[in-house]
Structure 1
């Protein structure tokens, strides 16, 4: 578990609950001042984020209410710009602008990205810069689809890989088709092997 994550998530009240339920000692080593990890995305994190077709994003309003929104697109919609920066094109939806409004007030954001097929989950914390710069929006927008209204650039402060224990296994349509194709190929191979075995046995008994 990375230190940068613990520095943000393990507030005094959280530490009190850890103490109360007996996990404080196990997590104490994560808060060691000698550790400086969990803020820069590595190859594993970059590949994982680039492959996602959707993430859950949380912001907080000026009245203190959290707001969670799903942001999705074709795999690759979430761009890894460098080890500390990711971004995505923000398209027009129902025009409520709740996330955008929240981010104008408080630029902090939390993201959960999930791979249900492989039961992997990555949590991110960062600060957002909203941009309408045409060059940046074009970079994030990609070549297909509608024109984005703005670009969302996220400077990563911390990340953490979550325990997979309670993640249900779910497949997208494309993942399901690949799995069905794999099973069909496997069945066809077994049928060929069985046919060859049966033919050999017949020849031996003839």
Structure 2
């Protein structure tokens, strides 16, 4: 697996970094990194996501970003260098699928707004019809999501963790429920105590 700098820092990008004085620091940073495979931290992070963004490029050169989501665990790390997820019936525009017929390179963005973390990944994506990949369907299907139409596998070329700057924390319904659960439990206990006290006073 290549370093993020090897893939994403083109001569034009490096020229801009050198112009702004960041070229040497980035060179040192990525030279010291081991990005040979997805490790436990990446696997745990990706496996807990409920959504990702996947960018592809059309044959006319236009970038396209598509959202994919589901319950935590819908995105699966298949091995140390590949990911996969099941694709269900959507709006049937097939933009990503069509783009990948011309150029199968994709860029993924996985966000954790709660903890202000983000993981960027570059790789090569493949769409397969469900009928042609029954073993992958069984591995990637998420219960309760409906009938799998396709499966998507992504061979990771490189990845990088991004800094948390400017990420605004956001919480989904499940996370909010978990955060307020202790306070709700305390309030419910107190309400029950007050109702019992009220009943006792009325009886007196």
Query: Above 0.5 in TM-score?
Result: yes
Count of aligned residue pairs for this structure pair: 187
The answer to whether structure 1 residue 158 and structure 2 residue 155 are counterparts is: no
1:113 alignment counterpart: 110
Q: Pick closer, same or farther for the CA change 1:95–1:3 going to 2, 3 Å.
A: closer
Q: For 2:3, what is the secondary structure of its paired residue? A: helix
Q: Counterparts of 1:126 and 1:24 in 2: how far apart (Å)?
A: 24
Is there any run of 5+ residues in structure 1 with no aligned partner, and where?
Answer: 192-206
Q: Counterparts of 2:105 and 2:12 in 1: how far apart (Å)?
A: 20
8 A contact 1:3–1:31 mirrored in 2: no
RMSD (Å), alpha carbons = 2.0
Runs of 4+ residues deviating >6 angstroms:
186-189
Shift of 1:186: 6.9
What TM-score do the two structures reach when normalised by structure 1?
Answer: 0.84
Q: Counterparts of 1:130 and 1:143 in 2: how far apart (Å)?
A: 20
Q: For 1:99, what is the secondary structure of its paired residue? A: helix
1:1-206 map, 5 Å = 4-30=3-29, 32=31, 37-132=34-129, 133-184=133-184
Q: Counterparts of 1:18 and 1:36 in 2: how far apart (Å)?
A: 19
Q: For 1:149, what is the secondary structure of its paired residue? A: strand
Is there any run of 5+ residues in structure 2 with no aligned partner, and where?
Answer: 191-204
